[in-house]
Amino acid sequence: MAWRNLWRNKVRSLAVMVAVVIGLVAGMFASALVEGIMSSRFTNFIENQVSHMQLHHPDFIREREVQQFIVGPTLPLQDVQGREGIAAATTRTKLQGMVASASYTGMVELVGILPESENRTTNFARHMVAGEYLSDQVSNSILIGAALAAKLKVGIGSRIVLSYQDLENQLVSGRLSSAVSSTLATLAMMR
């Protein structure tokens, strides 16, 4: 009896079936899209920013003060790089600072790196939009994100000024030349 009732009004029944199928397909597509975006963002965040493991001073994550650093390497970088299962390792110095150009001044997170080992760890060089990756041949160079470059209204070789506190809480400033990377949204990298 239900089967006969289902086909009593064929147009209505087909419309409901098509709506259910379209709803199921759209739901599966949306779910797969969200899962893919989240997976991609997670992988990108791990590979390009935090890596798989970090060592910090116990209070650094909470307070982010320049005085909170690991005194002496707990494990020398070469020892860590030589361990089984370690693809690459690097050291970084992170601190908050100010960046200024002729048209903009604002806060940034400064990350001091060892260019060669950082590139093996996070592959920053492959995300370069313009300019050259950091090297020992060019002094006073900086790698900045495309969004920050747009805010500062600077291009390759433009001069910007960084200011930050040193270990004695003295204000230190330096003038640097810029190169631009696509994925480092507001992250300034200094060496």
153's torsion region: left (phi>0), alpha (psi -120 to 50) or beta?
A: left
Per-residue pLDDT band at 185 (split at 50, 70, 90): very low
Distance in Å from the first CA to the final CA of the chain: 79
Are residues 122 and 184 in contact, defined by beta-carbon separation less than 8 angstroms? no
Average of per-residue pLDDT across 17-23: 96
Residues 6 or more apart in contact with residue 75 via CB below 8 angstroms: none
Each residue's pLDDT tens digit, 46-61: 776 677 777 666 777 7
The whole-number pLDDT of residue 19 equals 96
Compute CA distances 97 → 9, 78, 110, whole Å. Answer: 71, 30, 6
Give 169 or 71, the one with higher predicted confidence: 169
The whole-number pLDDT of residue 175 equals 77
- Residue 79 to residue 119: CA distance in whole angstroms: 18
- Residue 88 to residue 153: CA distance in whole angstroms: 34
Each residue's pLDDT tens digit, 133-158: 877 676 777 888 888 888 888 888 78
Map out the domains of the chain as residue ranges. Answer: 2-50, 75-190
Give 167 or 74, the one with higher predicted confidence: 167
* Residue 187 pLDDT greater than 60, yes or no: no
Residue 15, helix vs strand vs coil? helix
Strands 187-190 and 105-113: parallel
| pTM flag (> 0.85) | no
- Residue 75 to residue 87: CA distance in whole angstroms: 16
- Residue 116 to residue 134: CA distance in whole angstroms: 8
